[in-house]
Structure 1
Amino acid sequence: MTSSVVSSRSEKSSERSSLRTVDLRGPAGRLEALLNEGVPDSPLVGLVCHPHPMGGGTMHNKVVYHVMKVLNAPEWGLGWPVLRFNFRGTCLSEGRHDGHAESADVIAALNWLQSEYKLPVVLVGFSFGAAMALAASCGSDAPNGNHANLYALAALGLPTQGYGQTYNYPALPECFLPKLFLSGDHDSFASKHELQQVVDSAADPKSLVLIPGADHFFTGRLEQMQSSLAAWLKEQVS
């Protein structure tokens, strides 16, 4: 789960008018966060979670950035406000990496969005971020086993193993949120067979999309990833 990143400097210069920093407080301390502001009458807000920090994952990861664009940029037709943050111990975020407790960071971000916007949230996680998003929204870490303001959940590059850890998702049979599982069919952190088993265990509604020839980071196929994600999101809001 080694990360591929975009330059935060170029990102900020190209989106200075709509990008602002957020003072996000999690259980382990301050979490470095950015908000891409959306259209004034947006019906939904987005939260995007980054891949494993031990592999260099941050909120500036290339996949995370391209996901944010789908949810936020005018050319994709949604225009939602989108929050990204760095997990505890990553870059300027306080605390130390844990590998499990980061699901509480996701919950802190969801709570901030609910307080700020009072709108339903579309939660998207990539890789480790997808695992933490599932734990925060559907697992035992979620408040009352669920997070009331969630509208839909997209798990990109959901891992079944990595960094010496096996990932299991026992709460999926009771998770009734609309769910998208979007991966490359050459993902080295979850084989097609393993991912299919995870999806089969999940409650409806759910969708599985495998992008042919794509690796874990959708290398050379980021636009296909974006198009698949955008199509599913527009189905959810139609």
Structure 2
Amino acid sequence: MPEVIFPGPAGRIEGRYHPSKRKGAPIAVILHPHPQFGGTMNNQIAYNLYYTYVKRGFSVLRFNFRGVGRSQGSFDHGVGELSDAAAALDWVQSINPEARTCWIAGISFGAWIGMQLLMRRPEIEGFISIAAMANRYDFSFLAPCPSSGLFVHGSEDRVAPVKDVVPVIEKVKTQKGILLEHAVIEGANHFFDGKVDELIAVVDDYLDKRLGASEEETAALPPPPDPVEEEAGED
């Protein structure tokens, strides 16, 4: 899990990058929760999503948005963070020029950024959006949504209540062949406290369906180390 520093629009960006051993392997980029409410690339959900893609043979990058950790710059209310995400995708593509496809996985604020990036980058073929705050951020730009993906929420999420979020997701327009799925984790709050394993199991099931299981690669890899830092999450 090597540390990396790459250029971004506001200065250097700090990340963690795991290259695949397979030539032409797909790319995954993980986007963390809100920078002003404790969100970093070491958030426990971001960390687990990172290894979810690693075990499937992806080249995976997670990084800190501007102003977080050793990433330069300051919070920019989503505008600059979208530029950071684009720069991160550019960087990982530059060292994986044979990769044809990419997946985006975002948590809360990161899910909003990820879906905007999805609209701008046709090579993104799938997404995972966890605790997307569709009640607080405008998702109407998904018209139509260009790629299939999965939304996941907790039934006890008081930041983005399911009853407020589901109608927004259902209004997202899709084109032929694009399917949007929505899963609800019973008893989970916005941070999935005590429910991260259940969350990752749901994501794994979805990726099995989309990509196929990768048991051989998974068996060959050791379990991920404990994260150095786990964030409580964001408001």
What TM-score, normalized by structure 1, do the two folds share?
0.81
Aligned-partner Cα distance in 2 for 1:194–1:172: 17
- Encode CA deviations 1:159-200: one digit per residue, 9 max, x unaligned: 135xxxx31111123112012101111112211122112211
Contact 2:24 2:96 in 1 (8 A): no
Give the ranges of 4+ consecutive aligned residues of structure 1 lying more than 4 Å apart after TM superposition. Answer: none
Contact 1:128 1:159 in 2 (8 A): yes
Q: How does 1:1-238 map to 2 (within 5 A)?
A: 19-41=1-23, 43-73=25-55, 78-101=56-79, 102-118=81-97, 119=99, 120-138=101-119, 142=120, 147-160=121-134, 166-202=136-172, 203=174, 204-238=178-212
- Encode CA deviations 1:84-107: one digit per residue, 9 max, x unaligned: 110011111111101122111111
Aligned-partner Cα distance in 2 for 1:113–1:178: 22
Structure 1 residue 39: deviation in Å?
3.2
Structure 1 residue 201: deviation in Å?
1.8
Contact 1:176 1:205 in 2 (8 A): no
Extract unaligned runs of 5+ from structure 1: 1-18
Aligned-partner Cα distance in 2 for 1:136–1:46: 13
Partner AA of 1:208 in structure 2? H
Aligned-partner Cα distance in 1 for 2:208–2:24: 14
Aligned-partner Cα distance in 2 for 1:37–1:224: 26
What TM-score, normalized by structure 2, do the two folds share?
0.82
Partner AA of 1:194 in structure 2? D
Aligned-partner Cα distance in 2 for 1:124–1:95: 23
Contact 1:128 1:158 in 2 (8 A): yes
Q: What SS class does the counterpart of residue 2 from structure 2 fall into?
A: strand
Q: Percent identity?
A: 29
- Encode CA deviations 1:26-73: one digit per residue, 9 max, x unaligned: 111111111023333463121100001111111001111111121113
Structure 1 residue 225: deviation in Å?
0.7
- Seen in structure 2, the aligned counterparts of structure 1 residues 42 and 68 have a Cα distance that, compared at 3 Å, is farther
- Seen in structure 2, the aligned counterparts of structure 1 residues 39 and 183 have a Cα distance that, compared at 3 Å, is farther
Structure 1 residue 23: deviation in Å?
2.6
Contact 1:154 1:179 in 2 (8 A): yes
Contact 1:153 1:179 in 2 (8 A): yes
Q: What SS class does the counterpart of residue 204 from structure 2 fall into?
A: helix
Partner AA of 1:134 in structure 2? M
Partner AA of 1:184 in structure 2? G
Aligned-partner Cα distance in 2 for 1:198–1:72: 31
Q: What SS class does the counterpart of residue 112 from structure 2 fall into?
A: helix
Considering only aligned residues, what root-mean-square deviation do their CA atoms show, in Å? 1.5
